[in-house]
Amino acid sequence: MSKFFYRPTVGIDVSADFSVVAILAPNGEVHRKPFKIKHNRNGFDYLVDQIKKAEKEFNMKTAIFMESTGVYHLTLFHFLKDTFETCILNPLITNCNKNGDIRKVKNDKKDALTIAKIGKFQNVKYSSEFDIEIYTLKALCRDYYKFTDSKSTFKKKLSTDLRVIFPGYSSVFSNITCKTSIAILKQYSSPEYILNADKNKLIELISNCSRKGLARSEKIYKKLIDAAKDAIYIGLKSPSLFVKITNTISIIEALEIQLKNLLIEIHSLMKSNKLSEEFKKNIQLIYSIPGVGELTSVTIMSEIGNIKSFIKPKHLVAYFGIDPSVNQSGKFNSTRNTMSKRGTKIGRRALYAVALASIRTNRNGQPINKILLSYYKENLNGKSKKVRLVSIMHKIVNYIFSVLKNQKEYELRDPKMHAKMYLKNRFTTAA
């Protein structure tokens, strides 16, 4: 039974510019017809007045429930949370309870009533915590990944355009967006410009950007000239296509500036006093796990928020969406189950990057994490690459949960030795 069963409850169906509110009496009946409020000062004040009237009439504190709807609910939740007990529900929970009637009805008033009934009658999981600074850090990290994806998209676009206009350019520069390549394309955007360019100036440009000697720069120059001659012969000739090159380069450079600004803001926020020392310590604890980078640890911790919300490692596994889906009915039990992918997408992406790094070796041949690498090669031998990587991600989540709960840095231990230590501590505690 829900702890709000004997209390009046408020259900709010949030949208972009307005919300619909429904209030249930302690006996479960509708206290008043659902009403609409606009997302402005007058609308919020009117909502507070109506909730206080209900509390005064029933002489009870209310409980407010709303869905997590992107960013639309944040201002309303932040406005109410200090005055009332306000709870955030996962939309997956409310979607499972909507349209329960035979007649198919879907509108905002119906949804608001459904949300209020879920909070009152069902013992569902909810969240009532919100830290502005952690939210800001999470938003900055998510923007960083989005801009990184956009940059990759335009890098592919630049490569595609160069294959049409300047075939063979990729044979000169393996990374077409390196400093030297970008400098050449900005100043000489077509094969004709490169062939007509002053040799000494072009070699000097290559030398200054690449920081290599004149002999090395001259070899690059010769390759560039050969590629330009081939492009004149087989490439498409259109001045409008060359404009695409310069425009794409401008977008890539603008994105790089934005990425630098985001990193600067993330680092400044981490150094400030706005974040708690406990939160900063948790970031360092995750950073102690081999294969986890500085930005990755910040991303993972900002997605987790408060580790106290997770009782078991399985809860954290499900939060990241790497728990297996289940498909079973009667005697049928599917063996082709995939990840649920119902958790944080950015957090799952960061875990994937950590998993890839954990099974690699350094330049000197030393493994990043010899325990996970051994587990990947020996215990998971015979399974597909995707299944093996998900298993590694599952292990990493267990490591993260352990270091955060125990507040101790990661220690690289052999699994057999760890099992002996666990049994020894267990028997000692029992005795």
What does the pLDDT read at residue 157? 93
Closest alpha carbon to 253 in 350, 154, 352: 154
Q: What is the mean pLDDT of residues 28-55?
A: 94
pLDDT of 53 higher than 90: yes
Domains and CATH numbers, the chain: 9-130 (3.30.420.40), 135-266 (1.10.287), 276-328+335-430 (no CATH)
Which has the minimum average pLDDT: 99-113, 164-178, 368-382? Answer: 99-113
* Average pLDDT over the chain, rounded to an integer: 89
Residue whose entry in the numeric block shows the structure tokens 């498909």:
327
For the segment 340-355, the average pLDDT, to the nearest whole number, is 92
What pTM does this model have? 0.85
For position 101, what pLDDT does the model report?
Answer: 64
**Per-residue 3-state assignment (H helix, E strand, C coil) for 352-402:** HHHHHHHCCECCCCCECCHHHHHHHHHHCCCCCHHHHHHHHHHHHHHHHHH
pLDDT-based confidence at residue 30 (cuts at 50, 70, 90): very high
Whether residue 430 has pLDDT greater than 60: no
Per-residue pLDDT tens digits for 193-246: 889 989 999 999 999 888 878 888 999 999 999 999 988 888 787 777 788 888
Helix (H) or strand (E) holding 259: helix 239-271
Q: What is the pLDDT of residue 103?
A: 65
How close are the terminal C-alpha atoms of the chain, in Å? Answer: 38
pLDDT of residue 98: 64
- Residue 428's pLDDT is 66
Amino acid, res. 73:
H
Q: Is the pLDDT of residue 378 over 80?
A: yes
In the chain, the percentage of residues whose pLDDT exceeds 90 is 57
The SS3 call for residue 128 is: coil
Q: Read off the tokens for 144.
A: 């960083």
Q: What is the pLDDT of residue 338?
A: 80
Determine contact, residues 290/258, Cβ cutoff 8 Å.
Answer: no
Helices marked H in 59-107: 74-80, 91-97
Entry field: residues in the chain: 431
pLDDT of 239 reads 74
d(C-alpha 199, C-alpha 222), whole Å = 10
Contacts of 342 (CB under 8 A, 6+ apart): 92, 318, 321
Stronger pLDDT, 415 or 312, i.e. the higher one: 312
Least confident of 95-104, 227-236, 360-369: 95-104
